[in-house]
Amino acid sequence: MRTIEWDAGVVRLVDQTKLPQEYIILEYDDYLGVGKAIKEMEIRGAPAIGAAAAFGMALAAVKSKAGTRDEFLRDLEEASLYLGGTRPTAVNLFWALERMLRRARSSDIADLDLLREDLVAEAQRVADEDVVINKRMGANGAALIVDGMSILTHCNAGALATVDFGTTLGVMRAAHAQGKRIHVYVDETRPYLQGARLTAWELMQEGIPMTLITDNMAGHFISRGKVDIVLVGADRVAANGDVANKIGTYSLAVLARENGIPFYSVVPTSTVDLQTTTGEDIPIEERDHREVTHVRGVPIAPEGVQVANPAFDVTPHRYVTGIVTEEGIAYPPFEINLRRVVEKAK
């Protein structure tokens, strides 16, 4: 199945906290459950979070007991506030919520039951469009990949981070399908281990050659000439090209620049936030400290230790070679070319 899908009034999603040991499908029939799934990272990845938010709003519409349009819109706005508080860094979350609210507010459908059906259809469009967009990104990014290339990636930007196909891993899937021989070095991605648990699993499912490494091995392999290109996703891209992605991405960008290796972020245009001028304005989520002190419930640090756990860092645009989108690859100056691809997508 897709990472997330709508099934007769129920949102079904792959529980990413259980992979790779267990493949479990969770079902939620209200927006509170979907919000919990986003918050607890049962579903994660910017595009997948956007689709989850859209389906959460669809559930809010279906479950609303409102008898008037004003009451109905208030129910949707309440759901939007709740869902918007789950993951503050991923801009796709807010993009999807605003899209659903805009659809409801601007609709000329008077019958509330028909409006509910329309919002379910709009959420489904968000999900379906994501798959098409990912495949277009994959084709655009595959043009960067040369036969025999070694790629380094961080976190998980595959099918699991989207509705299907993937952003960064979508580029790899497209290149692999073209017959290009590639090898992928996968950072484990501490502390939540999305690389070890999810990216490695996805690449093995696809039969794409890969090697799992710890995050602090990346510099070793880059300095030895083992890496030709760094590809990562993003949770938000500022108007100037600053990239917010999983913590540890900034270090890779610096390493890539020092060693003359291109560094690309692969994102849908919905992840580009033209309202955010620079990366300094992007909120950085601080997550549960137990993610650092424990691994799968097993303590690995002294009890009571002081911990910091920012989920993301910001890579300044000067370290970014280009940003791959469904509308092409944006190169510097990003202020001009990111706006161009976003407007083209609209």
Give dist(CA 264, CA 31) in Å, integer. 35
End residue of a domain, out of 117, 135, 153: 135
Distances (CA, A) of 30 to 283, 299, 344: 27, 34, 35
Mark whether 11 and 81 lie in a shared domain.
Answer: yes
Other CB atoms within 10 A of residue 148 CB: 10
Mark whether 42 and 164 lie in a shared domain.
Answer: no
Mark whether 155 and 124 lie in a shared domain.
Answer: no
Rounded mean pLDDT of 169-176? 98
Give the CATH number of the domain where residue 333 resides: 3.40.50.10470
Classify strands 294-295 and 272-273 as parallel, antiparallel or unpaired. Answer: unpaired
pLDDT digits (tens, 9 = 90+) for 6-24: 999 999 999 999 999 999 9
Rounded mean pLDDT of 76-99? 95
Q: What angle do CA 173, 151, 285 make, to 5 degrees?
A: 90
Mark whether 238 and 338 lie in a shared domain.
Answer: yes
pLDDT digits (tens, 9 = 90+) for 206-227: 999 999 999 999 999 999 999 9
- Whether residue 90 is predicted with pLDDT greater than 90 in this model: the reply is no
Rounded mean pLDDT of 179-205? 97
Position 238 confidence tier, pLDDT thresholds 50, 70, 90: very high
Rounded mean pLDDT of 163-171? 97
Position 337 confidence tier, pLDDT thresholds 50, 70, 90: very high
pLDDT digits (tens, 9 = 90+) for 239-286: 999 999 999 999 999 999 999 999 999 999 999 999 999 999 999 999
Mark whether 205 and 278 lie in a shared domain.
Answer: yes
Give dist(CA 274, CA 62) in Å, integer. 32
Mark whether 101 and 240 lie in a shared domain.
Answer: no
Q: What is the dihedral of CA 171, 172, 174, 177, to 10 degrees?
A: 180
State how many domains the chain has.
Answer: 2
Mean pLDDT, the chain, integer:
97
Using the structure block, give the residue that is written with the tokens 């906290």: 17
What percentage of the chain reaches a pLDDT higher than 70? 100
Mark whether 127 and 141 lie in a shared domain.
Answer: no
Mark whether 211 and 221 lie in a shared domain.
Answer: yes
Distances (CA, A) of 314 to 115, 235, 252: 40, 10, 11
Q: What angle do CA 331, 200, 209 make, to 5 degrees?
A: 80
Mark whether 109 and 217 lie in a shared domain.
Answer: no
Its domain, for residue 39, covers: 4-135
pLDDT of 346 reads 87
Mark whether 131 and 146 lie in a shared domain.
Answer: no
End residue of a domain, out of 92, 116, 135: 135
pLDDT of 89 reads 87
Give the CATH number of the domain where residue 22 resides: 1.20.120.420
CB 214 within 8 A of CB 186: no
CB 89 within 8 A of CB 41: no
End residue of a domain, out of 71, 104, 135: 135
Classify strands 210-213 and 182-187 as parallel, antiparallel or unpaired. Answer: parallel
- Whether residue 1 is predicted with pLDDT greater than 80 in this model: the reply is no
Question: Hey, which residues are catalytic here?
Answer: 235
Mark whether 169 and 42 lie in a shared domain.
Answer: no
DSSP string for 265-315: EE--GGGEETT--SGGGS--PBPPTHHHHEETTEE-S-TT-----BSEEEE
Distances (CA, A) of 335 to 21, 89, 114, 276, 338: 43, 20, 41, 11, 6
- Whether residue 336 is predicted with pLDDT greater than 80 in this model: the reply is yes
* DSSP designation for 155: S
Mark whether 87 and 197 lie in a shared domain.
Answer: no
